[in-house]
Amino acid sequence: MKLAHPNSLANLQPFNSDRAREGQKAAVKSRLLNSELQNQFRITAQAFLRVKEQLPEITALDVIKLAMWQALQDDNYEDASRYAEKIAEYEQPKLQRIDQITTTRTVDLTDEELLEIIKNEGLSINEIK
């Protein structure tokens, strides 16, 4: 004998007044539970707003700094370094930073080019010696 899937139409039972009453009871239970959850949420939200009014103004950067200090107090240096990295990004975003790397290979320069670079840097040959 082949078993039908639990959600199969073959498992449907006829709808009668007893089943209708059970459905109504379940719906009322569900609405009451929903209403209770909404009331609890309102109470919690109101309590949060009361507490928030008493707190000083805290920025996202302040929260990250607090988390970093907490991690340092707990000797959790991995988390502290992650927070420090986020703080650095927050304080000086990559788009505003100027990473300037100048590599000059003097081997490839002629004497005239080298003297030009020295002059542009504001140095004199006497200072180099």
- Is-above-0.85 flag for pTM? no
pLDDT higher than threshold 70 for residue 103: no
CA distance readout (Å), 4 to 8, 14, 15, 19: 6, 17, 20, 22
Amino acid in the structure at residue 9: L
Most confident range (mean pLDDT) of 29-33, 61-65, 89-93, 109-113 is 29-33
Give the residue extent of every domain in the chain. 19-55
Residue range 10-19, pLDDT digits in tens: 878 787 888 8
pLDDT higher than threshold 90 for residue 73: yes
| Residue 107 DSSP class | G
